[in-house]
Amino acid sequence: MINVLFVCLGNICRSPMAEAVMRDLIEKEKLHDKIKVDSAATSSWHIGEPPHRGTQDKLREYGISTTGMQSRQLHKHDFDQFDYIIGMDENNIRNIYTMLGNPDSPKIFRFLDLTDHRMDVPDPYYTEDFQETYDLVLEGCRALLEKIKQEQKL
C-alpha cells in the first residue's frame, strides 16, 4: 500500500481538501486498493473538527465527500508510515521538518512544486477563495497521482 499524507496549518481547509480530491481521483482510476490518503495539521488548533464549512461546500459542488474526516495533528511516527508527505506551503514544510526531527528525505515536498505554479497553496481560511484553492488542489492532485503512478509503476 502506498501512503500519502497532506499537511497544512489547521487541517480544516487545504489538506482535507487535497485528501478528499485525491481520494476521488484514486477511486475514479480504481487505485483505492493501492493508495491510501490522509491529512494532518502542524498546529493543534482544530483537532477533532471536521473540514471547514467552505471546504465542505466547495467539495460538495464537485460531488466529493468529506464524510468521516476529522482534523488531526502530525506525529513523528507519520514519517515512517507515509511514502509521500506533502506540505501546502513553505511554512508547513519548515514545520513538518521540525516536527519530524529534520529528516533528510525526498518524500517531503511542497505540493505545487509538482506543477508549473511552484507556489504555496493559498489558505482559504484567510483568503476566503475556496474556488482558487480547489483549482490548485485539483491540479496538484493530478500531478501527484501521475508521479505516484510512474514511481510505483501502477
Going from the C-alpha of 127 to that of each of 14, 43, 84, the distances in angstroms are 12, 19, 27
Which domain range does residue 126 map to? 2-152
Summarised one tens digit per residue, pLDDT across range 66-119 is 999 999 999 999 999 999 999 999 999 999 999 998 888 999 999 999 999 999
Q: What is the mean pLDDT of the chain?
A: 96
Count how many domains the chain has: 1
CB 42 within 8 A of CB 74: yes
Residues involved in catalysis? 8, 14, 123
Domain with 56 in it: what CATH number? 3.40.50.2300
Q: Percentage of residues in the chain with pLDDT exceeding 70? A: 100
